[in-house]
Chains A and B, each alone.
Chain A
Amino acid sequence: MRVVVGDEGAGELLRGVLHTLRSGFAVFDRDMRYVAYNEAWLEAHGLPPGRDLLGLRHYDVLPIRDEWREVHRRCLEGGTEQRSKDFFDRPDGKREHLRWEVTPWRAAGGSIAGLVIYAERITEQVEAERRLAERESMIRDLFEQSPVGLNLCSMQGLWIESNPAFLGIIGYSQAEADGGLTYWQLTPRKYDADEAIQLENLRLHRRYGPYEKEFIRKDGRLVPVRLNGFLVERDGEDFIWSLIEDLTAQRALEARLEEERVKAIHASKLAMMGEMAASFAHEINNPLEIIDAFAYTLKEAIAAGDAAYLDEALAGIRAATARAGKIVHGLRKFARERDDAPTEVAIATIVGDAMDLCRARIRTHGVELEVKVETASCVRGHAVELAQVLVNLLNNAFDAARVAPDKWIRLVAVDRGDSVVITVEDSGAGVPAHLDDDVFRPFFTTKPVGAGTGLGLSISRSIIESHGGTLTFDRSAPHTRFVVELSR
């Protein structure tokens, strides 16, 4: 840059022009004393507006670094220097970012008369750049460090970007993933129908998920994942961003919890059988007594040739054997661990299995028992677990009814719409109003210490809920009434 000052009038004009410039601008003599400067110069250096610098030495006014003094010296010898990005620490401590240029100006005779310094404040731009870079690195860190798999793919399923977490889930290297691997190569065919649903979601809402599926890892193993995603546009083309969570640990935990739950159900059932042991013994000991007594009488009957009595005795022995056998079979059926796969099971069968275990106990204690199965429906589930719920409800009803003045229990199974409803009602004192919800809590019991585990109802509810049904206490009933509702 070259500034030429002619006469006084031209100097005035130049000063006027200088003040309109938004960039800082100052003219110095060879001794670095201010000859001219503009407001923007004051501002760029943190000096108050209107400050009179004329005749003052630059180095007295501002803390000029040695590095800059060197620049000034070189330029006074004829050089021109510039920096596109530099900084200046203002006297007030604030750092300004500047772009500057230093160039000598010449007197009329051509000799160097001083320097012109042009200094543009670029602090805002530098800050903006820094913030942008920070943001970019933050997003990069999120992408790289995220424990959630992140993946961008084309509408055709071609993978464009994959983060390390995602590569870990699918077991491929970055190069392999970027080298033309597609979503469809890693998706088992059994998900075709589900995939169509998610693509339809994308089309309608520009989002999909949460969608649980599996990917085929490079090692061939299936990995359970949960996907969520949305559409983004790049250069007019749609792409899918997906967030992929590895559900392996969660599934393992769920499996362990389910295993514990099944164990707890089984333990509760065994505890219940322990409570019922006395009545089972009764149901086996009576037939045994019948058999032995008949056998005792046979010798004499044979000697006497009493054919009619022989017939009666043999029939009695067989009937008693069948009766004891029924209890043993019922116990064996009830005591076994549950089958892995649920089956279609008739409500009548479930009620029948429960009754086989409870009927004698209830009746020998003088409690009236009414059972009405007015449904031919089946439900899908574990027959033993469902029978366990009814045994539990019947046992509770029995404990309440046996000490009531009027002793009865009523079990009714009916269809209601798409459900089958089984109610177990008893004549007992009922559940105190303030305990409605508590009865389903683990370890809750109104029975004396040692008479109940307090787990029956909470486990019964867990069983029914795992079958997609409900187990509730019907407060509106005049007597204690529990209601099981299952889809048929």
Chain B
Amino acid sequence: MKPPPTMLPAILYIDDEAMLCRVFQRVLDGCGAPIVTFTDPELALAYTREHPVAAIVCDYRMPALSGLELLERLEIEVPFVLISGDIGIAPIVQSNPRVTAVLAKPFQPEALLALLQPYLPASTAR
């Protein structure tokens, strides 16, 4: 995790797959908000206590902590997009009002960008 250059609210991308963190850093780059990625959900939680956050994109199935467990421990209210490679998790999260949207992998990057669009600084959105 590299601290963002400014204290603009960041988009957090959390997934235990390092490769997905790497590529979504690139996908989201230039969307107007700083992108911070985490493979360790604990570090992501720690980040949310210190820094402003615009939105969180979080994997559901992670070894240490599931996306829903992370949400449980999240102390801030923020748009929360749950992404998952598992099948059939939609019913589990539908009843959770804190989940903004669920994206099933594989989804098109455009779909994620569209979901995040409302929460990006309008002036800098590409």
Contact = CB atoms under 8 A, between A and B. Distances in A.
Contacts of B17: 286, 290
B110 A278 contact: no
A312 B88 CA distance: 32
A297 B108 contact: no
Given A289-B106, A363-B63, A281 B85 contact: yes
A319 interface: yes
B27 interface: yes
Contact of A364 (B26, B62, B87): B62
Interface in B1-45: 16-17, 19-20, 22-24, 26-27
Given A278-B86, A290-B20, A366 B26 contact: no
Given A278-B86, A286-B85, A296 B108 contact: yes
Interface in A320-365: 320, 363-365
Contacts of A296: 27, 108-110
A293 B111 CA distance: 11
B64 interface: yes
B49 interface: no
A146 interface: no
B61 interface: yes
Given A278-B87, A286-B17, A289-B85, A297 B27 contact: yes
A291 B27 CA distance: 12
B106 A288 contact: yes
Interface string A194-219: 00000000000000000000000000
A173 interface: no
Size bin of chain A's contact surface = 20 to 34
Most A Cβ at <10 Å: residue of B16, B22, B23, B64: B23
B105 interface: yes
Nearest to B106: A288
A282 B85 CA distance: 4
Contacts of A286: 17, 20, 85, 105
A309 B19 contact: no
B119 interface: no
B19 A278 contact: no
Contacts of A319: 19
A294 interface: yes
A239 to B, nearest CB: 74
A458 B22 CA distance: 46
A292 interface: yes
Nearest to A312: B22
Contacts of A282: 61, 84-86
Interface in A287-309: 288-294, 296-297, 301, 309
Interface in A154-209: none
B61 A364 contact: yes
Interface in A110-148: none
Nearest to B15: A286
Interface in B76-124: 83-88, 104-110
A283 B105 CA distance: 10
The 6 residue pairs across chains A and B that have the minimum distance between CB atoms: A285-B85, A288-B106, A366-B63, A282-B85, A285-B105, A296-B109
18 contacts: A278-B86, A281-B87, A282-B61, A282-B84, A282-B85, A283-B85, A285-B85, A288-B105, A289-B106, A289-B107, A292-B109, A293-B20, A293-B24, A296-B110, A309-B26, A312-B22, A363-B63, A365-B61
Given A281-B86, A291-B106, 5 more contacts: A285-B85, A286-B20, A293-B27, A296-B108, A297-B109
